Amino acid sequence: MTEKKIKRTDQVNQSIDMLLGGLTKLMQDKPIDKITIGELTDTAGLSRRTFYRHFQTVDDLLTLKVSRLVDRLYGTMDPSHMTFEKVLNSCYETLKPDKAFLLALAKNQREYLLQKVILEKRDESIIQVPHDPIHDLTAYFGAGGMSSIIIYWIHQGFSQSNEEVAQANHELIQHIKRIAQ
């Protein structure tokens, strides 16, 4: 019984990965609002029924893609061993391989999903604050700052080298320290 469950889980994950791949491919050539479920499932090599078994809309699938990206991003962070500057450098290096998807996200004016997901997953971030009105400000500030930096990189086309980003991040941290005094 357990082996059958594992096999089914693998099939579900494979189907979702195929849909995500199809979405990424289609977004590079077509506005997301013009992508149909039929076109998406054809590109993924799956049936419409498979799509609807897991999602209601293309935006639901897109949000999952962004969510997985943020999960991977948070998975690279270790707050006990990383300064904020190192976190920023790590973010750039982690996201750069997803350049094509992130550029397509911007082309489709869906960058806001980054901030939304970063905020929703705040308990997994390096900024650990309680859920209450006082600390919510810190969480929103952190999510807004991180997503704005990521959006800046997207709009720059991820064209900077890791060294250039590290230098810019260093200058940013120095500026924050100066104004915080």
40 and 3 together in one domain: yes
Quote the number of domains for the chain: 2
Taking the C-alpha atoms of residue 181 and residue 171, their distance in angstroms, rounded to an integer, is 16
State the pLDDT at residue 49.
96
State the pLDDT at residue 4.
66
64 and 36 together in one domain: no
Q: Which domain holds residue 92?
A: 59-181
State the pLDDT at residue 128.
67
110 and 130 together in one domain: yes
Give me the residues of the chain with pLDDT under 50, please: none
In this predicted model, what pLDDT tens digit does every residue of 108-147 receive, in sequence order? 999 999 989 988 887 777 666 677 888 778 778 878 888 8
Report the half-sphere exposure of 13 (CA within 13 A, side-chain side).
Answer: 7
State the pLDDT at residue 87.
84
Taking the C-alpha atoms of residue 86 and residue 79, their distance in angstroms, rounded to an integer, is 10
8 and 94 together in one domain: no
> Which candidate, 151, 146, 54, 41, places its Cα nearest to that of 102?
151
State the pLDDT at residue 142.
79
State the pLDDT at residue 118.
87
State the pLDDT at residue 84.
81
Last residue of a domain, one of 56, 86, 101: 56
